Amino acid sequence: MPTLRRDARRNRDSIVSAARQVFASVGFDAPLDAVARRAGVGRGTLYRHFPDRHALAVAIFEENVREIERAAESAVDGPGGFDVLLRSVVEQQVRSPGLVPAVLSGTETSELRAMGVRVACAFAAPLRRAQEAGSVRSDLTTADVVVIVRMVTAVVDAERDEGRRRLAAARALDLLGRGLG
Amino acid sequence: MPTLRRDARRNRDSIVSAARQVFASVGFDAPLDAVARRAGVGRGTLYRHFPDRHALAVAIFEENVREIERAAESAVDGPGGFDVLLRSVVEQQVRSPGLVPAVLSGTETSELRAMGVRVACAFAAPLRRAQEAGSVRSDLTTADVVVIVRMVTAVVDAERDEGRRRLAAARALDLLGRGLG
Amino acid sequence: MPTLRRDARRNRDSIVSAARQVFASVGFDAPLDAVARRAGVGRGTLYRHFPDRHALAVAIFEENVREIERAAESAVDGPGGFDVLLRSVVEQQVRSPGLVPAVLSGTETSELRAMGVRVACAFAAPLRRAQEAGSVRSDLTTADVVVIVRMVTAVVDAERDEGRRRLAAARALDLLGRGLG
Amino acid sequence: MPTLRRDARRNRDSIVSAARQVFASVGFDAPLDAVARRAGVGRGTLYRHFPDRHALAVAIFEENVREIERAAESAVDGPGGFDVLLRSVVEQQVRSPGLVPAVLSGTETSELRAMGVRVACAFAAPLRRAQEAGSVRSDLTTADVVVIVRMVTAVVDAERDEGRRRLAAARALDLLGRGLG
DNA sequence: AATGAATGAGTATTCATTCAT
DNA sequence: CATGAATGAATACTCATTCAT
């Protein structure tokens, strides 16, 4: 469905946005009704756009991934691009609570797996440049980057309050950056 | 309940063990019925021992924490004790899948918080010794250790198969140990 | 609506034909959506032509009844006309599966009742001729003919496959024709 | 489940009885809620006993078939046993409206097929005796008997009112008994 | 006029929790 | 005490019908 009627598009967007908020405050197992209500649409409309909860998670992540891809394109230049990109991804996680269970329960899904690949790809160039500049160890792969994001996200998601989430993220990045030794 | 009739004790243990298995294979949101059935007890019995799902999670973690405390006591001696202890905790996570949602959804609970503290305490002496020996950076706190465990667990729990979980754990520990730079 | 714009007419026909197929394969309680989709029209169009499921059933039966009336006109001549007509009606049932629930649930409707009357009328002349020739017992009424059709239909509709439906019809007609004694 | 707790048994029976009434007055597609309500039990109880609508139909038919089997046992004696048995089955249909859709929609099911076989078996001895006495044509099989029952049932179920149902049954039996010729 | 998006009432279904046996 | 039957609130989901485009 590349082209969607204007109003349908608006509804779809409302729903995804509502899902973000509801999942953030109630959890990923929130009633889908609550999502529909907050989006201001009927049950059926929700179901038309997203046949199940998982489809909703995919849509949310899709937006996140796209944002990461955009960030990757802007940040390609210097050797510090990797760090900037990583921090922007972490910041995204700080502001998007409640999605970890979605990731975990859906690891199997090919869609989510594909998104992981896209995130890895987005990091490819900046990572290479940083490694060439010597600011990142040379055996780090893009798969490792995804792992790193996952680690930070886990720490972040242990907190509710945004400020504390940001603090937790910083500490996690610090531990990761300098190593334990 | 320090003293429990022998058979009641056996029931309780069956239930916790069943809960481990069920949560591992179905997920933490499995029907409690499934737990009771696998434990071979009636609904009422499960209910008598554990008023709700959370109590079950606490009981499971209680066993885990106790195991950690035991490991901490055995490993106090050398400067490598910290590393050994950390690895044993990680190994425990490798073998206990499906509990992350429990941790995440229950972070607020005082019981779980208390267990975090106990884990931190268990690490206190080994950590201090490792820092004195210079094998671990001196600004690392026991709270950081809990954070580290959380990070590794998140990576581990992205996999189902035990072998892959162990591999994932190793990579996460490697990233953490040597740092990104 | 005797006069209908050419394209509207085509739409209407597509819908009735689609309804036949869908009711046959899914059952009379199939979603009307499925009918619209198979007809290649929008929901609204289906709705314009047929305000509800019942109207659709009526339209299908209307075609059937008209076919019976045509058959009756061609077969008026000989004393065997009754038998030929009855067999052609039965053959129609063999080829139109899934309509029994429609008949049953809609017995009350005046439209369907009227159609029953039309079927009875179609049989009037052939029946009289057959009775005069002595090949059909004289106390048989046209109402009985409708009953007979219903009986055969019930037996036919217990089968899915067209071949078996035809076989079942033959057996039912045989039982009816020769009596049990 | 050969032995069922006394109260559970009572509930089960209430449900089947309620289902009979509800299906008779509302139709086989009545909301299951209505059945539960009329039985005076909760939704869950209905589901515990009967996982779906079909299971309910099977239970109803089971009672019917058992009644037929009992009738068959009492009526074995004379050559008129066949006729008596057939009439008692027809009378059962007269008093159990609304089940035809159930039969039709479930023809495929092995349970229902098995019940058809049981009905056929019940008729075996009486049929043989009647054939030996010459009161029933010799090529009639027990499968034909099931067909006959189906035919009568179809005619009966075209009426709502019990009196008219009985009348319709009589006419159908008459047509069948004497044949059309 | 045709389309298909939106609506929401109606129904199915699950499962935590209570309670009779 | 243990059991598992019963309950019903909560939730999922479908689909007839309306209506904006």
What is the residue type of D139? D
pLDDT confidence of residue B105: 63
Cβ of B180 and A181 within 8 Å?
Answer: no
Identity of the residue in D27, D172, D175 whose CB atom sits nearest the CB atom of C105: D27
pLDDT at residue C1 greater than cutoff 70? no
Give the CA A33 to C1' E9 distance in Å. Answer: 14
The tokens of B53 are what? 């799902």
B175 vs A29, A144, A155: nearest CB: A144
Angle at D52 between CA A49 and CA C157, to 5 degrees: 95
Q: Report the residue from B137, B157, B181 with minimal CB separation from A136.
A: B181
CB pair distance less than 8 Å for B104 and A158: yes
- The answer to whether the C-beta of B32 is closer than 7 A to strand F is no
CA of A19 to C1' of E6 (A): 19
pLDDT category at C152 given cuts 50, 70, 90 is: very high
Q: Residue A51: count other Cβ atoms within 10 Å of its Cβ.
A: 10
Residue C180 above 80 pLDDT?
no
Query: pLDDT of B36-83, one tens digit each?
Result: 999 999 999 999 999 999 999 999 999 999 999 999 998 767 778 999
Tell me the shortest Cα–Cα distance from C165 to chain D, in angstroms. Answer: 13
Four-point Cα dihedral B79, B80, B81, B83, nearest 10: 140
Phi-psi region for residue B4, left (φ > 0), alpha (ψ -120 to 50) or beta? beta
Query: pLDDT tens digits, residue range C92-134?
Result: 999 988 777 776 665 567 888 899 899 999 999 999 999 999 9
> How far is residue A160's CA from residue B107's CA, in Å, rounded to a whole number?
10
State how far the Cα of A38 lies from the Cα of A21, in Å rounded to an integer. 9
pLDDT digits (tens, 9 = 90+) for B113-136: 899 899 999 999 999 999 999 999
Q: In sequence order, what are the residues at sequence separation of 6 or more whose Cβ sits closer than 8 angstroms to the Cβ of residue B102?
A: B23, B28, B57, B60, B61
**pLDDT by residue (tens digit) across A148-170?**
999 999 999 888 899 999 999 99
CA distance A48 to D48: 32
Residues 6+ apart with CB under 8 A from D24: D96, D97, D98
Only one residue has tokens 């055995």, namely: B74
Q: State pLDDT tens for residues C36-92.
A: 999 999 999 999 999 999 999 999 999 999 999 999 998 767 778 999 999 999 999
Cβ contact (<8 Å) for B154 and A154? yes
Segment A121-135 shows an average pLDDT of 94
pLDDT of residue D1: 44
* Residues in chain D, pLDDT under 50: 1
Q: Which residues of A touch B101 (CB under 8 A)?
A: 101, 104
Contacts of D176 in chain C (CB under 8 A): 175-176, 179-180
The crossing angle, in degrees rounded to 10, of helices B81-95 and B53-74 is: 150
Q: Which residues in 114-153 of chain A line strand F, with CB less than 7 A from it?
A: none
With touching defined as 3 or more inter-chain CB pairs under 8 Å, the answer for chains A and B is yes
pTM of the predicted model, to two decimals? 0.88
Per the CB < 8 Å rule, is B176 touching A180? Answer: yes
